[in-house]
């Protein structure tokens, strides 16, 4: 059986096992809107523009969600149980963890806790923009430093910018929107020598998809360096974007500082239940990676065939070029029901394509090939 058949039949078996196992549960799931893998919505629109995991949450998480509905009248959100399960999963202590309403809340909380008029934020361009958005409501400067020619964070220039005063440094690794890796050795060399007044926000939202071995997680620093905050999410590999659950891992003193700014009774009970079940589902990570690899192969093959350049990716999306105007391309794709990206200045000559299910990528491949036949791309 080829890889694609393996992934698809493995998923089918797991879903069938799930619905077949409990008649009542199966019947309930059959009536549950949105039940089933894939992210094609009811209007047939395929979202290849938001870096979501198209596989859908794990069957175990679906079961846990349904089981937790009856607890919706209670406070608590299974917070303690989730903290303990997460600590086990990461091999850290609960004191190291800060929970957030997605990792977006963690980015906001980190700016609240560490940012100020004399502490600039130093970030790459382009990178994930959210952390910069809080500049509108809080008094801090942002220094953006372009990626290097090989699309890594420019560690040397960022370091120089941070050398003048206390700073909050944002590393998105793998980087969104480029999907590229910045060498962990280069970042480590800086962290090892940086003063405590340089705080490192290490956003590892796409960690599990990495294939480049010049990357390794920043988690190893947290006991030694209170100025390192590692940020992760359940949105990507665990496909829980709509449930909003993310977290930071840092030194207990840093976690305590971050926790002062978070909502103390989060997460909500459904996110908590699904999070615990996802961490216990030993297969979801491998299934998500396998689907991602299969979709990536279809995309690579298609772009190669069309002679369109693309960036190496370590995530569930990639950036590629087309011949012609990008806005027109996106509009034409949208007219066929495929949403494919938006502008990411200053890289206005690339489109960011998020990976859907393999059959969705086949649909995209057929469409872009049709565009080539029409002379559009």
The residues binding ligand PLP (CB under 6 A) are 51, 102-104, 128, 172, 176, 203, 205, 233, 235, 241, 246
Quick one: tokens of 340? Answer: 């494919």
Shortest distance in whole angstroms from residue 208 CB to ligand PLP? 13
Q: Kindly write down the DSSP assignment for every residue of 309-376, as one continuous string.
A: -B---SSSEEEE--SS-HHHHHHHHHHTTEE-----TT-TT-EEEE---HHHHHHHHHHHHHHHHTT-
Shortest distance in whole angstroms from residue 1 CB to ligand PLP? 33
Measured from the CB atom, is 344 or 371 closer to ligand PLP?
A: 344
Query: What b/e sequence results for 207-234 when a residue is b if at least 16 CB atoms lie within 10 Å of its CB, and e otherwise?
Result: bbbbeeeebebbbebbeebbbbbbbbbb
Measured from the CB atom, is 235 or 314 closer to ligand PLP?
A: 235
For 247, which DSSP code? E
Shortest distance in whole angstroms from residue 18 CB to ligand PLP? 25
Q: Strand 228-233 to strand 198-203: parallel, antiparallel, or no bridges (unpaired)?
A: parallel
Measured from the CB atom, is 171 or 364 closer to ligand PLP?
A: 171
Shortest distance in whole angstroms from residue 136 CB to ligand PLP? 18
Measured from the CB atom, is 29 or 172 closer to ligand PLP?
A: 172
Measured from the CB atom, is 51 or 292 closer to ligand PLP?
A: 51
Quick one: tokens of 348? Answer: 């206005």
* 298 vs 172: CA distance, rounded Å: 26
Phi/psi class of residue 52: alpha, beta or left (left: φ > 0; alpha: ψ in -120 to 50)?
beta
Backbone angles phi, psi at 121, to 5 degrees: -95, 130
Measured from the CB atom, is 106 or 161 closer to ligand PLP?
A: 106
Residue number of the CB closest to ligand PLP reads 102
Query: What b/e sequence results for 62-101 when a residue is b if at least 16 CB atoms lie within 10 Å of its CB, and e otherwise?
Result: bbbbeebeeeeeeeebbbeebbebbbeebebeeebbbbbb
Shortest distance in whole angstroms from residue 12 CB to ligand PLP? 28
* 28 vs 7: CA distance, rounded Å: 26
Shortest distance in whole angstroms from residue 203 CB to ligand PLP? 5
Burial class of residue 110 (count of CB atoms within 10 Å of its CB; 0-12, 13-18, 19+): buried
Measured from the CB atom, is 129 or 362 closer to ligand PLP?
A: 129
Measured from the CB atom, is 128 or 344 closer to ligand PLP?
A: 128
Shortest distance in whole angstroms from residue 69 CB to ligand PLP? 22
SS3 118: coil
* 168 vs 162: CA distance, rounded Å: 8
Count the Cβ atoms, other than its own, within 10 Å of residue 29: 18
Shortest distance in whole angstroms from residue 204 CB to ligand PLP? 8
Shortest distance in whole angstroms from residue 358 CB to ligand PLP? 22
Shortest distance in whole angstroms from residue 33 CB to ligand PLP? 21
Measured from the CB atom, is 103 or 292 closer to ligand PLP?
A: 103
Query: What b/e sequence results for 271-302 when a residue is b if at least 16 CB atoms lie within 10 Å of its CB, and e otherwise?
Result: bbbbbbbbbebeebeebbbbbbbbbbebbeeb
Measured from the CB atom, is 7 or 219 closer to ligand PLP?
A: 219
């Amino acid at each position: 059986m080829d890889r694609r058949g393996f992934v698809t039949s493995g998923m089918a078996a797991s879903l069938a096992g799930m619905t077949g196992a409990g008649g009542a549960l199966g019947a309930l799931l059959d009536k549950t809107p949105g039940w089933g893998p894939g992210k094609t919505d009811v209007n047939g629109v395929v979202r290849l523009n938001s870096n979501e995991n198209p596989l859908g949450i794990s069957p175990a998480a679906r079961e846990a969600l349904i089981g937790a509905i009856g607890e919706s009248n209670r406070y608590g959100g299974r917070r303690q149980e989730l903290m303990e399960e997460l600590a086990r999963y990461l091999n850290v202590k609960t004191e190291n963890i800060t929970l957030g309403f997605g990792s977006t809340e963690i980015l906001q909380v980190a700016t609240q806790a560490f940012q100020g008029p004399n502490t600039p934020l130093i970030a790459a361009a382009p990178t994930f923009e959210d952390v910069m958005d809080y500049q509108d409501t809080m008094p801090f400067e942002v220094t953006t430093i372009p990626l290097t020619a090989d699309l890594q964070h420019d560690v040397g220039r960022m370091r120089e910018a941070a050398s003048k005063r206390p700073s909050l440094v944002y590393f998105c690794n793998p980087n969104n929107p480029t999907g590229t890796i910045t060498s962990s050795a280069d970042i480590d060399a800086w962290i090892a020598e940086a003063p405590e007044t340089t705080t490192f926000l290490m956003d590892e939202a796409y960690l599990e998809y990495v294939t480049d071995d010049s990357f390794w997680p920043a988690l190893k620093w947290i006991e030694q360096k209170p100025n390192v905050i590692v940020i992760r999410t359940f949105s990507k590999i665990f496909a829980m974007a709509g449930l909003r659950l993310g977290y930071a891992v840092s030194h207990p003193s840093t976690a305590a500082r971050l926790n002062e700014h978070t909502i103390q009774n989060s997460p909500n009970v459904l996110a908590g239940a699904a999070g615990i079940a996802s961490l216990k589902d030993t297969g979801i990570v491998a299934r998500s990676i396998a689907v991602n690899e299969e979709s990536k192969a279809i995309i690579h093959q298609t772009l190669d065939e069309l002679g369109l350049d693309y960036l190496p990716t370590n995530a569930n999306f990639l950036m590629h070029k087309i011949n012609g105007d990008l806005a027109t391309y996106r509009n034409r794709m949208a007219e066929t029901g495929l949403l494919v990206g938006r502008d990411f200045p200053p890289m206005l000559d690339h489109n960011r394509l998020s990976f859907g299910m393999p059959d969705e990528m086949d649909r995209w491949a057929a469409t872009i090939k049709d565009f080539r036949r029409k002379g559009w791309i």
